[in-house]
């Protein structure tokens, strides 16, 4: 990370300004990690959707894809 900081003017900032930047970065990282826990992994979610669809078919609650095959 030293090279990234060297390409910026961060080294010239006061300690208070550096602290503010570091806190902002940490807040952003924490917020991004929070999103990871809010949504199931894609495979898990797809398995949930498939199970839900199979339950609908089993209960007879699913309609045929072709509208002409649907009961009135």
Between 56 and 11, where is the model more confident? 56
- Which DSSP string do the residues of 35-72 spell out, in sequence order? HHHHS--HHHHHHHHHHHHHHHHHHT-PPPSSGGGS--
Q: Is the confidence at residue 13, as pLDDT, over 60?
A: yes
Q: CB of 13 within 8 A of CB of 21? A: yes
pLDDT tens, position by position, 21-68: 999 999 999 988 888 777 767 888 889 999 999 998 888 888 777 777
Domain boundaries in the chain? 15-61
How many angstroms separate the CA atoms of 32 and 24, rounded? 12
How many angstroms separate the CA atoms of 39 and 44, rounded? 10
- Which pLDDT score is estimated for 1? 54
pTM: 0.46
- Which pLDDT score is estimated for 11? 79
Q: CB of 44 within 8 A of CB of 38? A: no
């Amino acid at each position: 990370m030293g090279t990234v900081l060297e390409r910026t003017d961060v080294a010239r900032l006061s300690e208070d300004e550096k602290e503010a930047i570091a806190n902002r970065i940490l807040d952003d990282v924490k917020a991004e990690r929070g999103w990871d826990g809010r949504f199931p992994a894609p495979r898990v979610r797809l398995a949930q959707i498939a199970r839900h669809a199979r339950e609908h078919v089993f209960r007879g609650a699913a309609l045929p894809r072709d509208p002409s095959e649907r009961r009135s």
